[in-house]
Structure 1
């Protein structure tokens, strides 16, 4: 079976059935990679550094010889590792023999590393596709996704309105939804990292976001109404109203500008109802973690309000503590809301009495 080199969109389409194997070093992979890829490093970080130094300071030939020496140490192990990867993806074995399996392979530029591993795995019996231009081509493609035009709808509302919960419900009934806070591993406020895994790098966040945009557009071409009376236009992508930065990662400028100009559906929910929801979400965390989060906004919250909030926290008076914080975030969101140049033309208020899943039906009835 010949090794085939394919472009990024065909590469991504095939990834629905076949594993993506990234043969770059562990450090390169850890920094950022194609979403869904599995690390299959040809060289360690140290080996890559040694080869790179030899290439620059000695010669290409010496660097290649070093690479071949390191490669020889990995030749037996790589096919075994790939078999295990395929098994984990439920690529079935038949009578102890692995079925014919296609794999997708790339390195940084589609050069010697992916070429060497592709040769080995093809020799072993895998059908191998390599990515034309490697990860570098993927990055160019990913950044280009943010330059495209999208039909966006933005779900807004004060803190504690249950926006993420509503978006998840909308996704269940067939809407195209991208959960930016899930991609960022952060809920967006000073408390946003609580209970979350470490945030991705900016580059990885962009890779995740770009891939989700692409998937949304592709699925929107084929999606069918599933019978639910509140399923919306399949070409629209729903996002939550966010600040430019979600924790340490930032929404690409072109997309953020587009979000600010898109229709904004504002969940208007009473303060006390939102306060109950916020306490339910954050009240379970340790006081030490909550205090650290409060201190992060001390400068903007003010010394007196910060002191009062922390005192209420240690008195186990979460209602008064979070009431102070929620008033601060309401003011902050209102300021951001009215900075939109075209607010009157994009704002649609949706009134809900409480924070719960029934808001999905209320939302569709009022926004229809």
Structure 2
């Protein structure tokens, strides 16, 4: 007998292999980490069948689908499904609601490959609902601490050393500032939420009931934080991370220049440097209005000279000039204002080692 699974917790906790039978356009709109898209119908076929279903009903739509998916195409798709099923015997397949499409795929795998391959009851929609509820439940049931600090103090580095850290910027593939775009693009918002929810689920399953996350605006690049989480963040207690201006300049130099350049070269090869330079200049131009014309022009010329020297010799020392201006004259005044507004919520401040020790002790006291 063909089987269904509705244990969504087990699926995500154990990274069960998943075959997504939805059309590519649906998959691109939102998917789960590590999932493989092996659709029953492509986008055009899906559109035609959907129109037929609305106009003539289910049986007519099924008949049309069978005509559209010719024997050769059908055999090719079944071959892909069977190969996936054999390679991942502990996996599952699904469509949008766990309905007709996944039933057909399941049936054809059984008929042609002799494999009784389970599908996810409720499909993508049920799993997506489960993950959204996972975030909502964590906000309602767990303790959270927000990690704040000036730009370049190393908040992401601190989170990486905490077993209860939630790296929002990591899940969004963005560093969270005007210069935060990576060489590779960001996930869609649904994918971002799904990644965050799976992280929360796994940490809670490991016994974590208190989370530390970085102080963020609603948007991390193009990814929006789940609204219940973002609203609650405005009242969570805070810890403030401090560091010297010299260390912060070095950290920004590493992140925004050295590492970003390496990312672009690794991603785009020979075109990497030109695209990296274009990204830096674009990021500066995006804040031109807030910098003011004179300051923007001064920083722009410093950046151009630094990029020219880097292209010529590989040296990056000249970047320190505009980075220090960026921190002292642009970011720091905004953060000073934000810290004053949030001062009543700040329960501890210090440099990296002290902050990590404090946050670890706080968790221990909570667990004891």
Q: 2-side partners of 1:187 and 1:34: how far apart?
A: 22
Q: 1-side partners of 2:90 and 2:277: how far apart?
A: 51
Q: 2-side partners of 1:68 and 1:332: how far apart?
A: 61
Residue of structure 2 equivalent to 1:8? 8
Query: Would you say the 8 A contact 2:176–2:221 is kept in 1?
Result: yes
Q: 1-side partners of 2:3 and 2:69: how far apart?
A: 19
TM-score norm. by structure 1 comes to 0.81
Q: Does residue 245 of structure 1 match 2:219?
A: yes
Query: Would you say the 8 A contact 2:22–2:38 is kept in 1?
Result: yes
Residue of structure 2 equivalent to 1:257? 231
Residue of structure 1 equivalent to 2:322? 321
- The structural deviation recorded for 1:260 is 2.8
- The structural deviation recorded for 1:158 is 1.1
Q: 1-side partners of 2:11 and 2:244: how far apart?
A: 48
Q: Does residue 81 of structure 1 match 2:80?
A: yes
Q: 1-side partners of 2:219 and 2:47: how far apart?
A: 34
Supply the RMSD in Å over aligned alpha carbons: 2.3
Residue of structure 1 equivalent to 2:169? 181
- The match for 1:282 among 242, 251, 256 is 256
Residue of structure 2 equivalent to 1:335? 337
Q: 2-side partners of 1:35 and 1:194: how far apart?
A: 19
- The structural deviation recorded for 1:84 is 4.2
Residue of structure 1 equivalent to 2:246? 272
Query: Would you say the 8 A contact 2:85–2:117 is kept in 1?
Result: no
Aligned residue-pair number:
327
Structure 2: give runs of 5+ residues left out of the alignment.
262-275, 307-317, 362-368
Q: 1:4 to 1:293 in 2, by over 3 A?
A: same
- The match for 2:41 among 40, 43, 46 is 43
Q: 2-side partners of 1:105 and 1:119: how far apart?
A: 12
Residue of structure 2 equivalent to 1:168? 160
- The structural deviation recorded for 1:53 is 1.3
- The structural deviation recorded for 1:318 is 1.7
SS of the residue aligned with 1:283?
Answer: helix
Counterparts of residues 137-156 of structure 1 (less than 5 Å): 137-148=126-137, 149=140, 150-156=142-148
Residue of structure 2 equivalent to 1:98? none
Counterparts of residues 182-201 of structure 1 (less than 5 Å): 182-195=170-183, 197-201=184-188
Query: Would you say the 8 A contact 1:267–1:351 is kept in 2?
Result: yes
- The structural deviation recorded for 1:12 is 3.0
Structure 1: give runs of 5+ residues left out of the alignment.
92-100, 221-233, 353-358
Query: Would you say the 8 A contact 1:263–1:348 is kept in 2?
Result: no
Q: Deviations over 1:92-142 (max 9, x none)?
A: xxxxxxxxx233111111111001111222343434322222111222223
SS of the residue aligned with 2:152?
Answer: coil
SS of the residue aligned with 2:118?
Answer: strand
